[in-house]
């Protein structure tokens, strides 16, 4: 895992908050991407999607369920990230025929040439705005040809895995009708998901944030993706590939690594941001960890927080301090945000769990 400063450097270098367009593209690339995405959903797939539209009942040829929704800023739009779960066996993994081995370092040759399984399927996304009276208006139809690979060793056909895709949309209330199909369209699985992309606060308005999540790992890509893709266990944002922590569950000894963007901040006369954030881990009403206040000069926050407690030890020789790992249990991360330019404040709370890494007798 790279440090917060590593992530921040990548994002600042890409000027992510200033040049974000479609799926993290520049404004020039945005028009190209939109022209390439004029692909309509095949009639037989759309007919199946329409059959369950009113009841929101999906067909189970390829079963899947929606898992979570995130969003991040993207110039005129929000970059909407939707996660879904599907069982390996239902996606049709089979030995990858003739897949070229990726270049590997000398000590990674064996791993790189290990047999791979591959699933090829189609994803069709039908985005509609959803009015208060229930009326739907189609705004986007998107086709994603998906190719997912996984090592053959340790493959479990019954395991349910997490997948995601991202797509830029303006603020609004939406219904996504989604289909996963076999390549020949003989199997069609469908599902329906309502979500709201909120309108971000203007500079100087009320402070708010994007959904706060914990980062499991990340890597830098050479360039932003030019079109929507299906990813396993992660999502892309500009030139970053981010894997969120599953279910906010940590082992004893792990760190929190939070990621979010603040809306409503106002720059000062020198066009600089001045943000102060207080982090506190609580167990119920009691404070478990109080961190030193952290200053930021950007709306984007990527911050590692070690789960270490300072324990006071008393003995005949007096008192001493010792750093210990936070014990197993249920906790809440309390985040207090202050815009030092305007004096505006906001508070966010994120629940998480710490589990013992060794089974208890």
Contact 41, 141 (CB under 8 A): yes
**CATH 2.60.40 at 250-355, yes or no:** yes
Band the pLDDT of 358: cuts 50, 70, 90. Answer: low
108-112, 114-118, 134-138, 327-331 — which is least confidently predicted? 108-112
Phi, psi for 69 (deg, rounded to 5): -130, 130
Q: What is the Cα 166 distance to its own chain's centre?
A: 9
Tell me how crowded residue 202 is: count the other CB atoms within 10 A of its CB: 10
Angstrom distance (rounded) from CA 43 to CA 58: 17
Residue 201 pLDDT greater than 50, yes or no: yes
Q: Please state, in angstroms and as integers, the Cα–Cα distance from residue 317 to each residue in 38, 248, 309, 312, 320, following that order.
A: 76, 41, 22, 13, 9
> Mean pLDDT, to the nearest integer, of 287-307?
94
| pLDDT tops 90 at residue 104 | no
Helix (H) or strand (E) holding 182, with range, is none
- Average per-residue pLDDT for the chain: 86
Q: Which carries the bigger pLDDT value, residue 339 or residue 357?
A: 339
Question: What is the DSSP pairing of strand 77-87 with strand 65-74?
Answer: antiparallel
Query: How many residues make up the chain in this entry?
Result: 361
Query: What is the DSSP code string of 17-54?
Result: HHH--GGG--HHHHHHHHHHT--PPPHHHHHHHHHTTT
Gap between the Cα atoms of 163 and 156, Å rounded: 16
Question: Looking at 204-213, 270-279, 315-324, 341-350, which range is the least confident one?
Answer: 315-324
Q: Which residues contact 285 (CB under 8 A, 6 or more apart)?
A: none
For residue range 26-53, list pLDDT tens digits in order: 344 444 444 444 558 999 999 999 999 9
The pLDDT tens digits of the residues spanning 265-295 come to 999 999 999 999 999 999 999 999 999 999 9
Q: Record the pTM.
A: 0.84
pLDDT at 98: 64
For 69-101, letters b (16+ CB in 10 Å) and e give: bbbbbbbebbbbbbbbebebebbebeebeeeee
Residue 34 Cα to chain centre, angstroms? 23
């Amino acid at each position: 895992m790279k440090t917060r400063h590593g992530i921040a450097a990548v994002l600042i270098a890409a000027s992510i908050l200033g040049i974000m367009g479609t799926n993290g593209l520049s404004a020039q690339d945005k028009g190209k991407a939109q022209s390439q995405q004029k692909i309509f959903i095949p009639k037989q797939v759309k007919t199946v999607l329409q059959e369950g539209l009113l009841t929101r009942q999906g067909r189970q040829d390829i079963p899947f369920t929606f898992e979570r929704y995130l969003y991040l800023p993207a110039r005129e739009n929000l970059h909407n990230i939707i996660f879904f779960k599907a069982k390996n066996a239902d996606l049709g993994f089979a030995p990858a025929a003739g897949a070229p081995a990726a270049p590997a370092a000398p000590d990674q040759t064996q791993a790189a040439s290990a047999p791979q399984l591959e699933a090829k399927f189609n994803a069709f996304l039908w985005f509609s705005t959803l009015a208060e009276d229930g009326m739907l208006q189609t705004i986007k139809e998107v086709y994603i040809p998906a190719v997912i690979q996984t090592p053959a060793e340790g493959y479990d056909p019954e395991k349910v895995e997490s997948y995601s895709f991202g797509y830029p949309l303006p603020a609004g209330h939406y219904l996504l009708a989604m289909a996963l199909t076999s390549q020949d369209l003989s199997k069609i699985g469908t599902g329906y998901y309502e979500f709201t992309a909120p309108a971000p606060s203007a500079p100087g308005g009320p402070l708010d944030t994007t959904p706060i999540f914990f980062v499991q790992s990340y890597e830098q890509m050479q360039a932003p993706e030019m079109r929507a893709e299906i990813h396993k266990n992660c999502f892309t944002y500009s030139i970053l590939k981010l894997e969120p922590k599953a279910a906010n569950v940590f082992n004893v000894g792990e760190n929190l690594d939070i990621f979010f963007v603040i809306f409503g901040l106002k720059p000062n006369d020198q066009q600089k941001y001045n943000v102060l954030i207080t982090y506190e881990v609580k167990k119920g009403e009691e404070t478990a960890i109080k961190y030193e206040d952290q200053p930021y000069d950007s709306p984007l926050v990527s911050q590692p927080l070690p789960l270490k407690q300072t324990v006071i030890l008393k003995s005949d020789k007096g008192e001493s301090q010792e750093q210990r790992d936070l014990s197993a249990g249920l906790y809440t991360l309390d985040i207090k945000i202050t815009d030092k330019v305007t004096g505006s404040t906001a508070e966010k709370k994120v629940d998480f769990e710490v589990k013992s890494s060794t089974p208890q007798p």
